[in-house]
Amino acid sequence: MSTSAVEIQARTLAGYADASRLRQVQDRDWVLDQVTGAPESLIDLGSGIGQLLQEALERFPSLRRAVGLERSEHRIAEAAARLQPYGERVALHRADLTVPEPLPFRADLITQTSVLHWLYPDEERIFAWAAAHLAPGGRFLLTTYHPARDERGLGGEDELVRDALVTLGTPYDEVPGLLERAGVLPIATRTRTVDELAAVVGPHLAVAGHLERDAVVTVDGAAQYEHFHAATFGDYYSRAVPAQQRPAFFRAVGESAWRRQQERGHVSHMPVRLWQLTSR
């Protein structure tokens, strides 16, 4: 059986520039709006396709060094093409942030948007790393998502995935077991509560302040959400279904989102927190 276009998209995390307009790109501007002064160095953790780095380079001519750390080679390649005009002001490194390696300098600014839940349960390591890589007076600006979590640990994107799996024939109550057997930890379990995170941050960094917003996702059709899911979550969830059902799975996620849009006026909404962290 040939691989469908949406499966290829999910495998390569393609189409993120377009998909991220629905949610993640708003974090980029929100975070950069908090930057004061004239930073000379920036490290973006989980830099994706380089959108935050690009915007920061445009906004802050003072930036002499903008470094992105990212796990996905597809995303690094897309970021490298996007950032090529900025020459030696930019460096991109392949990195696994659950086992972060030291860099030979400290940064005025460290950023991380829409990434922390992927580091669960090892988030503490990135806070220890950031504490060791912040220049005196520097700040670590971080966004975290907080979907409501049900008694089985599901919430946010898990709910759309559950709808899709039910459409494909899995009884509602059996969805958590199916995900567990496939090694898929629900995203609402990965996203710790604010209090849990404060306890993880506390030993390494001080919380200088925070902001909060409600991230509301709306779509104009099922196909738009199908592509958002593939570009954002890749094959994380789809691996829980047999290969021949995957195109139908992505389609069903899109249809579930569109049903919610029509019933509620949005697909989802959840609080997002912007943490302003400094050295202790």
Ligand X SMILES: C[S@@+](CC[C@H](N)C(=O)[O-])C[C@H]1O[C@@H](n2cnc3c(N)ncnc32)[C@H](O)[C@@H]1O
Q: Is 123 in the site for ligand X (CB under 6 A)?
A: no
Q: Is 68 in the site for ligand X (CB under 6 A)?
A: no
Q: Is 95 in the site for ligand X (CB under 6 A)?
A: yes
- Of 90, 115, 188, 270, which lies in the binding site for ligand X, with binding defined by CB under 6 A? 115
Q: Look at residues 140, 137, 141, 278 and name the one whose alpha carbon lies nearest to residue 205.
A: 278
Q: Is 72 in the site for ligand X (CB under 6 A)?
A: yes
Per-residue contact flags (x/-) with ligand X for residues 228 to 257, judged by CB under 6 A? ----x-------------------------
Span 208-227, contacts to ligand X by CB under 6 A: none
Stretch that binds ligand X, among 92-100, 165-173, 207-215, 249-257 (CB under 6 A): 92-100
Q: Look at residues 135, 93, 111, 102 and name the one whose alpha carbon lies nearest to residue 57.
A: 111
Q: Is 54 in the site for ligand X (CB under 6 A)?
A: no
Q: Is 113 in the site for ligand X (CB under 6 A)?
A: yes
Closest residue to ligand X, based on beta-carbon distance: 48
Residue closer to ligand X, measured from CB, 77 or 206: 77
How many residues touch ligand X (CB under 6 A)? 21
> Angle at CA 182, nearest 5°, toward 180 and 184?
60
Stretch that binds ligand X, among 24-32, 152-160, 209-217, 257-265 (CB under 6 A): 24-32
- CA distance linking residue 114 with residue 199, whole number of Å: 19
- Of 48, 156, 176, 254, which lies in the binding site for ligand X, with binding defined by CB under 6 A? 48
Q: Is 51 in the site for ligand X (CB under 6 A)?
A: yes
- Of 9, 20, 191, 268, which lies in the binding site for ligand X, with binding defined by CB under 6 A? 20
| Cβ-contact 47, 71 below 8 angstroms | no
| Cβ-contact 152, 188 below 8 angstroms | no
**Residue whose tokens read 């077991």:** 177
Q: Is 24 in the site for ligand X (CB under 6 A)?
A: yes
Q: Look at residues 262, 243, 234, 246 and name the one whose alpha carbon lies nearest to residue 15.
A: 234
- CA distance linking residue 122 with residue 254, whole number of Å: 31
- Of 9, 114, 144, 268, which lies in the binding site for ligand X, with binding defined by CB under 6 A? 114
Residue closer to ligand X, measured from CB, 42 or 95: 95
Residues at the site binding ligand X, with contacts judged by CB under 6 A: 20, 24, 27-28, 46, 48, 51, 70-72, 75, 95-98, 113-115, 118-119, 232
